[in-house]
Amino acid sequence: MLQSLQAIEAYREGGWPAGEGYPWLEYIVQAEQTIVNLERIESLQELAQQNPVLDYVERSLRVLDSLPLSYWIKELAEETLIWSEAAKGGTLRQRRSWQEESVNIFVHNIGSAQLYQRYADSVLQEEAGSAEKRRVIHTLIETHGLIGQQIRGEVPPAVNLPLSGLVEQGLLSAGELERLLFALNHCIIAAVSPELWQEVRLQVMELIAVIASGNLQPEVPMKERLRRMRAGSIAQGEDYETEWDLLVQEGFLPGALELLQPATFWYVESALQTFSLEQFLKVMSLVAASGPLELSHLSFEAVMNSIHYDYKGSKKINVYKKRIIEKYLSELSWEEIYSGAKPSGGNPHLTHRLLGKEHLPDTLFFHFEFSAAAEKLIEFCMEAEKSALYERAVLLLFDLFDLRRDAFDRFHNEDTYLSQMNDTADYKAVILDYVTGRKVLDIGPGGGVLLDLIEERMPEVVAVGIDISSNVIEALRQRKQREDRRWEVLQGDALNLKEDIEPGTVDTVIFSSILHELYSYVPLDGRKFNHSTVAAALSSAFGVLADGGTIIIRDGIMSEPEDQQRRVRFLEADGMAWLERYAKDFAGRNIRYEPLGAQEVLMPVNDAMEFLYTYTWGEEAYIHEVQEQFGYFTPSQYAAFIEQTLGDRAKIEVFRHYLQEGYTEALQDRVEIMDEHGEPVPLPDSTCFIVIRKADGTTAAPSAPATDHENWRQPK
């Protein structure tokens, strides 16, 4: 067994290795600050109970111990591995002292090499023939991990030139360097993940051969380096080349990033992988526009640490901060970035910073700085996640950063939510029976279920989804790339479609469960829950619609007559508390109820149904559902509204309303619904299905709709 492994085992058994010469172990085990790449960490809480640096060093040494290597190669590799993480260790006092002495503890390969050099100069200088060995080990520590980072695009090829220098100086033969580098990288990468080693093994071998030959490329274009840094996003479906070209058209200047060519990037993938390519490139452009001309190291460690936290025991992206950062970057124009101007209309609670450290002139640290009030509110949201305060905390966050819910999506269940939307394919297939023409526009496509259905069942049709949410569009674009889909997506405003779509060119516009969200979330004339918003959306759709084209609406409906009363008897102990909380939190309108007992109330039928929509979805969705008003018209009101909004050229060809399948089953063990006399009655209709055709300009369309009141059971 390696001597270093014996030392670690002695420490783990509660003792200390006999003799002296283990300063590397002292540094690592005395670490008072956890410094680790969070990319492959499952839980931050577990880090507090471990020494991840010691664990990693031990894993790398165990790999080395298992390899069939010559004594000389194994000895050099062992000495390199035990020192290569030293700069991540030390007490806080030691680390402050190191920093004052210009040890770069933030770039751990450089800092570790400096610590090794100090040890070698003070302890090993008298060993015969040790100078050459020390130079080799120092170089290996200084370039520790850089081969893997070059593959990931995080460092320029020039950083590995010192390795080629070992051959040029006669310290190692080319063959010895290849064997040594192969062993070291096997240990370094397999200690992270054996699967990762198998994945990159051939690339590592190819790069080692180039290094040993001394024929390293002087540099790789920044576009290619950044592509490698986006490998995870590209694997998820990001169309790097197409999106890059689109951003160039919007004002992105690729040449400006060449200033970053000499720099090494630290923690960039852990910090920025979940952001879109546009957001990623804006961050890089901010650095290039404001960083010093001679920049050697750029660290995103602060972003990485602040953007992750534990949610229900697992490491998650801090979606509160992420969405706020996304909004900040979206409002930052390319012109503002290159001019160094502050964002126009920016929020005073967030800004970006490029900071240096004393004694480290070649190293910069990028991070997003939240105001103290914002940090406290975000912490409050995190602490309140499992309490009744959560929805109020999140609403405060919306207000502080002027976040629109439709652009914000869900917090923790966003992926699940989009997946559930895709699971409704059979429910939405009925819409296809009313699709006309070749170009179909799906407003608010969500997970893309309708786009998939149209593509698969109507191959002659061109389907386009449009959404205001950059997150929805990003997810759809990635899925389109992964699955090689033909449909298209656009980011745009449903209230102003002509900005993105030529008027008169669309044959079918679909509003599937989206108009009630526009009504609830989008303020018009300073007011949400506004019928004018629905009118603006319908008028916008009618404007891009071709003559003979159709608008298909599938959305909530209210019951009529509106003065009907319903008794609601709760079968769950907390049902009444749910209603009391809902009535207080719901902003759409005043929810009225008259208590008839400890577990029973009398309510107007539409207030009862509006509450039951949220009650059905449960606690996880409460914060979102309580902000939405699903029913906003009765059938006769809706028909009159369409006629008034769209005029004589709008012909209502289909108007049905029905109870969405699933509500009765979901509520049967939770509530009893009765009429005002206490007799059991079924739930009223929840959903409408409307088809509107646009007559040509020479023919007036009949304005009187045929309203069908049948209980047409098609799920939402």
Question: Tell me, what's the pLDDT at 534?
Answer: 97
pLDDT digits (tens, 9 = 90+) for 9-65: 999 888 887 666 789 999 999 888 888 887 878 887 777 778 889 999 999 999 999
Comparing 14-18, 157-161, 478-482, 557-561, the range with the smallest average pLDDT is 14-18
Closest CA to 421 of 141, 85, 715: 715
407 versus 336: the higher-pLDDT residue is 336
Calculate mean pLDDT across residues 677-684: 95
Question: Tell me, what's the pLDDT at 704?
Answer: 38
Closest CA to 639 of 701, 711, 691, 570: 691
Question: Tell me, what's the pLDDT at 391?
Answer: 61
Is residue 79 pLDDT above 70, yes or no? Answer: yes
Question: Tell me, what's the pLDDT at 420?
Answer: 43
- The C-alpha angle 59, 62, 66, rounded to 5 degrees, equals 145
Is residue 227 pLDDT above 80, yes or no? Answer: yes
Share of the chain above pLDDT 90, in %: 64
Distance in angstroms (rounded) separating the CA atoms of residues 1 and 371:
53
Is residue 595 pLDDT above 50, yes or no? Answer: yes
Instruction: For residue 343, count CB atoms less than 10 angstroms from its CB and return exposed for 0-12, middle for 13-18, buried for 19 or more.
Output: middle
The helix/strand/coil state of 716 is coil
* Confidence category of residue 707, pLDDT binned at 50, 70, 90: very low
367, two tokens: 């991070």
Task: List strand residue ranges (DSSP E) for 372-519, in order.
Answer: 439-443, 462-467, 488-491, 506-512
- Residue 304 phi/psi, 5-degree rounding, is -55, -50
136 versus 424: the higher-pLDDT residue is 136
Question: Tell me, what's the pLDDT at 293?
Answer: 64
* Confidence category of residue 414, pLDDT binned at 50, 70, 90: very low
Calculate mean pLDDT across residues 246-259: 94
Is residue 210 pLDDT above 90, yes or no? Answer: yes
Is residue 232 pLDDT above 50, yes or no? Answer: yes
477 versus 549: the higher-pLDDT residue is 549
Calculate mean pLDDT across residues 639-662: 94
Question: Tell me, what's the pLDDT at 362?
Answer: 87
* Confidence category of residue 679, pLDDT binned at 50, 70, 90: very high
Comparing 96-110, 115-129, 297-311, 389-403, the range with the smallest average pLDDT is 389-403
Residue with tokens 């919306």: 398
Q: Per the confidence metrics, is the pTM higher than 0.85?
A: no
Helices 174-192, 71-83: inter-axial angle, 10-degree rounding: 50
pLDDT digits (tens, 9 = 90+) for 321-357: 888 898 889 889 999 999 887 766 667 889 999 998 8
Calculate mean pLDDT across residues 368-372: 91
In contact, 63 and 194? CB cutoff 8 Å: no
Mode of pairing for the β-strands spanning 594-597 and 488-491: unpaired
Distance in angstroms (rounded) separating the CA atoms of residues 650 and 648:
5
Question: Tell me, what's the pLDDT at 385?
Answer: 66
Question: Tell me, what's the pLDDT at 272?
Answer: 93
Q: What is the DSSP letter of 660?
A: P
Closest CA to 140 of 94, 98, 187: 187
Question: Tell me, what's the pLDDT at 180?
Answer: 96
Question: Tell me, what's the pLDDT at 139?
Answer: 96
Is residue 709 pLDDT above 60, yes or no? Answer: no
Distance in angstroms (rounded) separating the CA atoms of residues 422 and 472:
13
Is residue 413 pLDDT above 80, yes or no? Answer: no
Output the DSSP codes for 240-259. HHHHHHHHHHTT--GGGGGG
Among 14-28, 83-97, 379-393, the range with the most confident prediction by mean pLDDT is: 83-97
* Confidence category of residue 192, pLDDT binned at 50, 70, 90: very high
Q: Calculate the average pLDDT of the chain.
A: 87
Question: Tell me, what's the pLDDT at 344?
Answer: 65
Question: Tell me, what's the pLDDT at 125?
Answer: 60
Contacts of 349 (CB under 8 A, 6+ apart): 370, 371, 373, 374, 400, 401
